[in-house]
Structure 1
Amino acid sequence: MSKRDDLIAVYAADLREKCQMEPDMALLTKVAIGLGPVIYNSDSNTVAASQPAELETIRKNFLVKKLGLADGPELASGIDAVIETYGRSNRNKHRAVVYYLLTKHFGKETVYA
């Protein structure tokens, strides 16, 4: 298996164990591929959910630019709901998992079709 396949298996395990959901592997793979080299860097591979600047970056660069959502307070509440699902106490929140959960939360799976 390639390094990317290994990482996708880790993300799927997180979704099963920490989020209690069975992942859509095709969508998870597309989200991971869409992140590009970010997933291979240990710092950028995780989300610092307690840092407002990080959450702002997710809102602007992923939700508004990538998913094409209109900017508004519902984006912050969506991020908050996803962080809650993943587990606030979980220190290692993988970016691909957070983006996957956000894509599902906002029903934007067609962006990766």
Structure 2
Amino acid sequence: MGKRDDLIAQYAEDLKSKCGMTPDMDLLKKVTIACGPSIYDADACTVAASQASELETVKNNFLIKKLGLADGPHLMEGINKAIETYGKSERNKYRAVFYYLLTKHFGKDSVYG
């Protein structure tokens, strides 16, 4: 198994233990691959959920550009729901897991079809 496979296994474990859900492994793999090299970068592999600027970036670059959602207050509501699901006290929110949660929340699995 390569490093990416190890990370996907780690992300799946986070979804099970911290988010209380059984991951769709095919979707998780596709979301992880779409994150590109950021999953290997110590700073970029996590989402700083306490920073408003980081959440704006997630909203603009992921929800609007990648998932094709229209801007509106429902986007930040979805982001906040993902933060709650992952656990507000959870310091390391992996980007791939966070994006997976958002993809599921907004029902945009088809983007990774």
Q: TM-score, length-normalised on structure 1? A: 1.00
The percentage of counterpart residues that share the same residue type is: 68
Q: Write the distance in 1 (CA, Å) between the matches of 2:43 and 2:53.
A: 15
Give 2:49's aligned residue.
Answer: 49
The secondary structure found in structure 2 opposite 1:93 is coil
Q: Could you list the runs of 5+ residues in structure 1 that have no partner in the other structure?
A: none
**Which structure 1 residue ranges, 4+ long, deviate > 4 Å from structure 2?**
none
Q: Write the distance in 2 (CA, Å) between the matches of 1:77 and 1:47.
A: 16
Q: Write the distance in 1 (CA, Å) between the matches of 2:91 and 2:29.
A: 23
Q: Write the distance in 2 (CA, Å) between the matches of 1:16 and 1:53.
A: 28
The secondary structure found in structure 2 opposite 1:46 is coil
Aligned length: 113
Q: Write the distance in 1 (CA, Å) between the matches of 2:81 and 2:31.
A: 19
- What one-letter code is carried by the residue in structure 1 that aligns with 2:26? A
* Aligned 1:1-113 pairs, distance under 5 A: 1-113=1-113
Q: Write the distance in 1 (CA, Å) between the matches of 2:19 and 2:10.
A: 13
Q: Deviations over 1:52-100 (max 9, x none)?
A: 0000000000000000000000000000000000000000000000000
Q: TM-score, length-normalised on structure 2? A: 1.00
Q: Write the distance in 2 (CA, Å) between the matches of 1:42 and 1:17.
A: 22
RMSD: 0.3
Q: Write the distance in 2 (CA, Å) between the matches of 1:5 and 1:28.
A: 11
- What one-letter code is carried by the residue in structure 2 that aligns with 1:31? V
Q: Could you list the runs of 5+ residues in structure 2 that have no partner in the other structure?
A: none
